Structure 1
Amino acid sequence: MNGTPIRLRELAPDGGGQLSKAEQIAQLRAQLAELDGGAAQEQIGGEGVVPLGGELANVLPNGGLPRRQVTQVSDTPSLIVEILRQVTEAGGYVGVVGWPELSYAELSAQALRRTVAVPEPGLDAVHAAGVLAEGLDVVVLHARSEIQFTPAQARPLLARVRAGGAAMLCVNVAVPSPALRMSADIARFHGIGRGRGCIAGIDLEVSAHAKGWKRPPALLTLGSATGGVTRLKAVPS
C-alpha cells in the first residue's frame, strides 16, 4: 500500500520501544481529526443506520448497518471491501483494524482518503477499534483466527461502540448476542471456461439475520464481469 493516499497507521508492536496505550489512542484520535476536517462532524444516513445500496439494502434491517451496535460478519474480504466502497462513496468514513492482508485496490482515491487502516494494532486491537468508533461511520475489527468473547470480555468494546456513532463489524471476533449476523458465500465465478480463462468476477450470495428479521439472500456480483458496476438482485427463496 506504499504510495497510495490511504491513511495507513501501523502502531509499534509490543516489545522494546513500543507505544503505550495512551500514545496509541492519541495517534488514532489525531488521525481522526485530520480526515477532511473531522469525520465526526457529519454522519451519513442519520443516527440509527449506515445505509447500503441496491438489493443489499433489502437484505438488512432498515436498509443498512446498525450504528452503535455490533454486526457479526463472515470472513469474506470481498464483501467487506464492497461495504467499505459503498460507505465511502456515499461520503462516509471507515476504519479497518487488524487486517494487514486486506486489499483496498477496489477503492477509489477519494474512498481511500476516507479510510483509516490500522493493520498491526499492537497492544490492543479492541481498544483501537473502540477509538475509531468515536468518529467513523463503519469500523471493521478483524482477527486472524476465531476469538470468542465472554460477556465480561466484550463489555469494554460494547461500551465504546454504544458511546460512539459507528457500525462495528466483527470478523472472526464473536461477541454475545450481536445485533445482526451477516454472511456471504461464493456462488459463481465469472470468466473461467473448461480448463482456460481467468476470474473476471464473482457472485456472492449474501444473507443477514437479526431478531425478528428474515429476508431472502441477495446475489452480489463483483469484478470486471459487471463492467465495473456492482449488480445486486434478490435470490429466489
Structure 2
Amino acid sequence: MTPDSLQSIADGIAGEVDRFETEYGMDLGVVVTVDEQAGTVTARGDGLRTWGPQQVLVGALTRARLRHDVYMQSATIVVYPSTDEPGPAVAPTPKLGRDAALAQLRRDLVDNGTAPEARHRGPADGGNIPLHQVLRPLIPGGNLTRGTIVAAPPRTGQGFAGEGAVSYLTLALVAGATAGGGYVGVVGYPNFGIAAASGLGANLSRIQMLDHPGDRWAEAVAVFADAVDLLLLHAPRRPTTSDLRRLTSRIRPSDRHRGCVLVVSSPWEEAHLTMRVRDPEWEGLGNGTGNLNGRHVTVSVTGRATRGRQRELELWLPAADGTIREYVPQEKRRRDRRPQLRIA
C-alpha cells in the first residue's frame, strides 16, 4: 500500500472521529498515525474504549473492506492493507457544514448496524412506543410518548449502589417495545434477565446491551438515545443537574433527534411517570410441598401520561409459564380454597 493510500485512510479515520465529536460534543482524544514501513494506520485514544465511537469507526472500516484489529485494553484500532479484492478506501472527509456532517453521521450509524436499519418499522416512524398488551390499560392510548422518562422499580435494592437484576415490570416494557417493532438499549444491567425477557415475549434480536458503562454512563445514554426507541438505565450515581438537562434534551424529539423513552430504575426527580409494584404474592407452594411458579402483584402508574390519576392492574408477573397476564377474581377464589402451607 502506497504512502498516499495510507494517508488517505488516516484522513478518513480522522474525519469519522471529527463527525462523532461534532454530533455528541465529546472530545475522544484520538490520535491517528501512519507507519509506512509496516504499512498500517493506527487510531489510539481513550474515546475508543466507548461503545459508540468505536462502532462508528469500525463500521466505516468494514464498509471500506479494510482489515482491522480492535484492542480494548489499549484503546487502539490498527488498520492493515486489505488482502481481499480491492475496495474503496475511507475517503477523506470533505469540509462539511454542521447540518451536513450530522446527516452523514446518522447515515453512518444506520449503515454500520449501531442504529435500526432504515427504521422502516412501527415506532421508528417517530410514533409512540407500544406497551405490552396486558399493560395497555395503565396508560391512555396504550403506549409511551417519546421524550418520556419512566421511573420503574428495581428488582433488588432501592438506591444507586448495587447491580441488581432488572425487574419483571421493566422486562415487560422491553417485551412490549420489541414486539411492536422497536429497538431497546440496556445500559448498566450486567444481570439483565435475558431468559425472563424472552419468556415475557421480548424479541432478543432487538436488544442492545452495555453492561458496564462506568463513569461515562451519561455519554453512553446520549449515544444510545439516537439508536433505540426505548432505553433502560441503571445509573451508578445520582445524576447531576447537568446530567439531567443533557439527557432530557437527548431523549426529547426534535429536528435533530428522533427521541426515545428512558426507563430508569433509580430515584429520578424529573420522571414523567412512576410505576410501582406492591402486594406481591408467590404461588406454587401447597401443604408443605411444591415450587414457586407464579407471582400475583398489583401494578400502579401515576404521572403526566395518566392525566394525574393513579391507575392499577392486578397481574400475574410472571405467570406459571413465564408470561405476563391479567389476574382475574375467579383465580383468587380458587386460590383461597387451596390448602395453606403449615409450618410444624
Q: TM-score interval w.r.t. the shorter chain? A: 0.7 to 0.9
CA deviation after TM superposition for structure 1 residue 84, in Å: 1.1
CA deviation after TM superposition for structure 1 residue 43, in Å: 4.2
The alignment partner of 2:51 has SS state of helix
Q: CA offsets, 1:58-106, max 9 Å, x none? A: 1124322221221111113111112112221222211110010121103
CA deviation after TM superposition for structure 1 residue 200, in Å: 0.6
Which amino acid in structure 2 is aligned with residue 124 of structure 1? R
1:213 aligns with 2:311: no
1:103 aligns with 2:197: no
CA contact (8 A) 2:175 2:202 kept: no
CA deviation after TM superposition for structure 1 residue 46, in Å: 5.7
Aligned to 1:114: 206
Deviates more, 1:107-116 or 1:162-171: 107-116
Aligned to 1:90: 180
Distance 2:139 2:55 in 1: 30
Distance 2:184 2:247 in 1: 17
Which amino acid in structure 1 is aligned with residue 213 of structure 2? P
1:65 aligns with 2:140: no
Count of aligned residue pairs for this structure pair:
215
Aligned to 1:47: 126
Aligned to 2:158: none
CA deviation after TM superposition for structure 1 residue 167, in Å: 0.6
Aligned to 2:95: none
Q: CA offsets, 1:45-65, max 9 Å, x none? A: 863521113341111243222
TM-score computed with the length of structure 2 as normaliser: 0.54
The alignment partner of 1:213 has SS state of coil
The gaps in structure 2 that reach 5 residues or longer are 1-43, 60-108, 156-166, 330-344
1:170 to 254, 257, 264: 264
Which amino acid in structure 2 is aligned with residue 59 of structure 1? L
Which amino acid in structure 2 is aligned with residue 201 of structure 1? G
CA deviation after TM superposition for structure 1 residue 231, in Å: 1.0
The alignment partner of 1:143 has SS state of coil
The gaps in structure 1 that reach 5 residues or longer are 1-16
Which amino acid in structure 2 is aligned with residue 196 of structure 1? T
1:27 to 34, 51, 54: 54
Which amino acid in structure 2 is aligned with residue 115 of structure 1? I
The alignment partner of 1:189 has SS state of strand
Deviates more, 1:23-32 or 1:150-159: 23-32
CA contact (8 A) 1:97 1:117 kept: yes
Distance 1:21 1:171 in 2: 28
The CA RMSD measured in Å over matched residues stands at 3.1
Aligned to 2:324: 230
Deviates more, 1:65-74 or 1:91-100: 65-74
Percent same amino acid among aligned pairs? 25
1:149 aligns with 2:239: yes
CA deviation after TM superposition for structure 1 residue 165, in Å: 2.4
Aligned to 2:292: 199
1:187 aligns with 2:280: yes
25 and 53 in structure 1: CA distance in 2 versus 1, 3 angstrom threshold = closer
Q: CA offsets, 1:108-162, max 9 Å, x none? A: 4981111001111134112212211112111000136xx4434333111111111
Q: CA offsets, 1:143-201, max 9 Å, x none? A: 36xx4434333111111111342111011151x33221112235211212343221111
